[in-house]
Structure 1
Amino acid sequence: MKVYGVTGWKNAGKTGLMERLVTEITARGLTVSTVKHAHHNFDVDQPGRDSYRHRAAGACEVLLASGTRIAIMQELRGAPEPELDDLLARLNPVDLVLIEGYKRGSHPKVEAHRKDAGNPLIAPGDSTIRAIAADCALEVDRPVLDLDDTAAIADFILREVGL
């Protein structure tokens, strides 16, 4: 599987770019999975649901399955957060895995940047960032792509990974 990241500070447009890239790349006939890192506590389940009740009772892992999807919820219960490589090993094979977040990961990335967010660029100190998708002109030592030109960003990523 090929792996490529989208990184950037909060409100930089990462999630919107991820969504557009998945749509664009799957429309080209490639299979895509995603990994999203969250810096906060989150829950994909709802109190009162059977699966939530299983976890609340102490289950380490709950697998929820239907005719349309499967969800596996794992409780770390004090164990350390798994490394990105360990998480990637759990995925079924696809052409491309797009990773949102994981700024410190060693995989290649595009940095999303919005001028109005007021954050500094990550790229100058990070050689894993191969290009910047921005809504403004930038003077940097790597390609700057238009944040709204999803096809051009997809072309760049697919060339980078050889797809």
Structure 2
Amino acid sequence: MKTIAVIGYSGSGKTTLLCALIPLLHAKGLRIAVVKATHHEVDWDTPGKDSFRLREAGAEAVLLQGPKRWFTTCRAPETVDLESMAACLPTPADLLFLEGHKGLPIPKIEVHRPSLQKPLLALEDPQIIAVASDVPLSIHCSVLDLNAPETIAKFIHTWIHEEP
């Protein structure tokens, strides 16, 4: 499974880009998984429900299975690492997108909008292989048109097949 992070500042359009890329890459025959990072405490379960009680009792992982969807919760390790996150994915995938996790030493695509007046992360991070922006940029890595998700999907598809 190939892994790439989509990083950028809040409001830059990371989720919007991923929502455009997933069906395009799926149409190319790729199975896609996504891990979305947040700095907030998360809980999809309801106190008192059996799945909640099983987790609170100490289960390392709980998979709540319904007729059309499964939800999995895993106990987070003290240090977030790619292997721990991938191990909790219940479905095999060809490509794992991480939304966020800019500190992990993995290939990344930065979503950058100069209008947000935030610094360009690619200037400091050699793991950034491309920047998706809504304006032309002159930097050391590939620059992709943020408003052309087909081009970004083609870049990722090519990258998947070129990377060892």
Bin for the TM-score computed over the shorter chain = 0.7 to 0.9
Q: Which runs of 5+ in 2 are unaligned?
A: none
Deviations along 1:79-128, whole A, 9 cap, x unmatched? 51441222123434322111111101122111001122221110011111
Question: Within 2, Cα distance between the matches of 1:11 and 1:159?
Answer: 27
Partner of 2:69: 69
Question: C-alpha deviations, 1:30-82, integer Å up to 9, x for none?
Answer: 21111111122122223454433544566554321112122122345xx5144
- 1:51 aligns to what? 51
State the TM-score, normalizing by the size of structure 2.
Answer: 0.86
TM-score (norm 1): 0.86
Equivalent position of 2:31 in the other structure: 31
Identify the residue that residue 16 of structure 1 maps to in structure 2: 16
Q: 2:148 is aligned with what amino acid?
A: D
**Aligned 8 A contact 2:72 2:88 in 1:** no
2:144 alignment partner in structure 1:
145
Deviation of 1:12 after TM superposition, in Å, equals: 1.1
SS in 2 for 1:73: strand
| 2:87 corresponds to | 89
Name the SS of the counterpart of 1:127 in structure 2. coil
Task: Provide the identity percentage.
Answer: 39
1:129 is displaced (CA, Å) by 0.4
Q: How many residues align?
A: 161
**Which moved further from structure 2: 147-156 or 61-70?**
61-70
Q: CA RMSD in A?
A: 2.1
**Pairing 1:95-110 to 2, within 5 Å after superposition:** 95-110=94-109
Q: Residue type of the partner of 1:37? A: A
C-alpha distance in 2 between matches for 1:103 and 1:161: 19
What code does the residue aligned with 2:65 have? A
